[in-house]
Structure 1
Amino acid sequence: MQPLTLDGSVALVTAASRGIGRAIALDLAEHGADVALGVRDPDAAAELADTIRGMGRRVAVVRMDVTDLAACRSAVDDVVAELGTIDVLVNNAGGGIVEDALDVTEEHFDTVWELNTKSTFFVSQHVAKHMRTAGGGSIVNIASQAGLVALPGESSYCLSKAAVIHMTKCLAVEWGQYGIRVNAVAPTFVETEGTAPALSDEAFRADTVERIAALHRIGQPREVAAAVTFLAGEGASLITGTALPIDGGWTAR
């Protein structure tokens, strides 16, 4: 088996400054990729950028609020101008609002949809135009187990991530002719700054661990990152249009 390598490739990771995004950026760099960090606050990514440069990789830091699509298109163009291409796109930015379905407002629904679904589609679209010109590439969307099962109190989030999973299939089928592969990963609860408040509740954490039916533990960012790196690379050259659960067995239950 050939070693996993992304030598000579350029990857763009959105929301890369912390949590899963940070782990993905580091793992891609460790496997040879130059990395563009798409972040809301470039100062927050300074330490990460220095770490990746210390690995001998090139780094670009671009301001990307994924709800501002015009700015995102400009940021993508800036990455191509600075690093020459984008071979790998990781759509990591996302989030949700916890509330009962009876209480979801139109404003909250639109906020979650724009953050998780609309941004993933249109950032992918613009990057794919560059990839088509270059002869191909790999897009990996960070979906969620919430796109595969119902999580009470997270209806708008579940819907948005289910749409990302089906979007992954649609784009894979359309863009395969250009050599562009499109896949997704669907993580369970992972230890990050974002999940810390919920997981600090002992009853919630115990219930979550119980529902992760096979392994009964919370995930780690590096475990998501490893799957993303695999899907980005040549080892996954015949894999497209799939959503890989990284859920410890939650959705198998």
Structure 2
Amino acid sequence: MELLRLKDKVIVISGGTKGVGKAMAEVCGREGAKVVIGGRDEKAAKEALRNIRTFGADGIFVHTDLLNIEDCKKLFDKASETYGKIDGFFNYAGVTPVSPLDTCDEETFDWIMDVNFKACFFCCQQAIKYMRMNGGGSIVLTGSAHAWGGQKDRAAYACSKGVLRILMEHIAHQYAEEQIRCNYLTLGWTPTEGEVELRRSQGESEAELRKRAARSLPMGRMCERNDYSEAIIYMLSDASAMMTGSTFRVTAGEYI
């Protein structure tokens, strides 16, 4: 009999309608979790929920605009109202626009920090609120190799991912006694919808992007969505009960 590693756990995913977030929502369902998808694309969420239900699991979609902190609160309130608890939170939502230090405007900077950091901060606040009622839980923050300095055209983005590392370490240190743990999953270069769209706007096709990335990445190819499945399942499951404050890299050898 197959072991369901997230059986009966309630997992909240911000940005669960796109890219790695959507893929991991389906993976969590496959592993027996009740999945709460936060995002704005209802059509994509319904597709993910259909797939989740084919595994015999359950899930709901909560329309969430991460620029609205009340929506961040609503995401967790609805999860708790529906399923009675929250065991895990995977913070995937983020934006990655071009943002070099010498030309980034205030509007772009504020957008990046509001989505990537401010929304995550208040989502974690809500996650902790509900996890402590249930004796603990696991928070996984989506990181990036850019957090260690980043490329020249991603200065604001790099800062947003760097501050998430500090938030992860703070949560891990301050809430361990409540059995609330937090880890930082460093994602590699992945051809998500957002990444492909950005490169197309710069005149590069997805095929050209993949070829360029393959030449620069030590392991010879970009990371695909499902390359992160086992890491995320591990960090959300009881198998990682004693793991907190860790930086977990799945980057095809990329260290910026």
TM-score, scaled relative to structure 1: 0.93
Letter in 1 for 2:217: I
**For 1:54-73, what aligned pairs fall within 5 Å after superposition?**
54-73=54-73
Following TM superposition, by how much is the alpha carbon of 1:146 offset from its aligned partner in structure 2, in angstroms?
1.1
Distance 2:4 2:241 in 1: 12
Unpaired runs of at least 5, structure 1: none
Q: Specify the alignment match of 2:217 in structure 1.
A: 212
Following TM superposition, by how much is the alpha carbon of 1:43 offset from its aligned partner in structure 2, in angstroms?
3.3
Q: Specify the alignment match of 2:251 in structure 1.
A: 247
Q: Specify the alignment match of 1:227 in structure 2.
A: 231
Q: Specify the alignment match of 1:5 in structure 2.
A: 5
**Structure 1 pair 56–4 and aligned structure 2 pair: CA distance change class (3 A):** closer
Letter in 2 for 1:182: C
Q: Specify the alignment match of 1:95 in structure 2.
A: 95
**Structure 1 pair 236–4 and aligned structure 2 pair: CA distance change class (3 A):** farther
Distance 1:49 1:112 in 2: 28
Following TM superposition, by how much is the alpha carbon of 1:206 offset from its aligned partner in structure 2, in angstroms?
4.0
Distance 1:99 1:118 in 2: 18
Distance 2:12 2:216 in 1: 33
Following TM superposition, by how much is the alpha carbon of 1:148 offset from its aligned partner in structure 2, in angstroms?
2.3
Following TM superposition, by how much is the alpha carbon of 1:210 offset from its aligned partner in structure 2, in angstroms?
3.0
Distance 1:158 1:99 in 2: 9
Distance 2:247 2:127 in 1: 20
Distance 2:58 2:209 in 1: 41
**For 1:80-229, what aligned pairs fall within 5 Å after superposition?**
80-197=80-197, 198=199, 200=205, 205-213=210-218, 215-229=219-233
Following TM superposition, by how much is the alpha carbon of 1:49 offset from its aligned partner in structure 2, in angstroms?
0.9
Following TM superposition, by how much is the alpha carbon of 1:173 offset from its aligned partner in structure 2, in angstroms?
0.6
**Structure 1 pair 56–201 and aligned structure 2 pair: CA distance change class (3 A):** closer
Query: 1:76 touches 1:127 (CA, 8 Å); kept in 2?
Result: yes
Distance 2:93 2:177 in 1: 27
TM-score, scaled relative to structure 2: 0.92
Q: 2:242 aligns with which of 218, 238, 241?
A: 238
Following TM superposition, by how much is the alpha carbon of 1:15 offset from its aligned partner in structure 2, in angstroms?
1.1
Query: 1:91 touches 1:120 (CA, 8 Å); kept in 2?
Result: yes
Distance 1:106 1:200 in 2: 29
| SS at structure 2 position matched to 1:146 | helix
The answer to whether structure 1 residue 52 and structure 2 residue 33 are counterparts is no
Q: Aligned pairs, how many?
A: 250
After superposition, the CA RMSD in angstroms is 1.9
Query: 1:112 touches 1:157 (CA, 8 Å); kept in 2?
Result: yes
| SS at structure 2 position matched to 1:250 | coil
**Structure 1 pair 3–165 and aligned structure 2 pair: CA distance change class (3 A):** farther
Distance 2:14 2:41 in 1: 12
Unpaired runs of at least 5, structure 2: none
Query: 1:17 touches 1:44 (CA, 8 Å); kept in 2?
Result: yes
Query: 1:36 touches 1:79 (CA, 8 Å); kept in 2?
Result: yes
Following TM superposition, by how much is the alpha carbon of 1:55 offset from its aligned partner in structure 2, in angstroms?
1.2
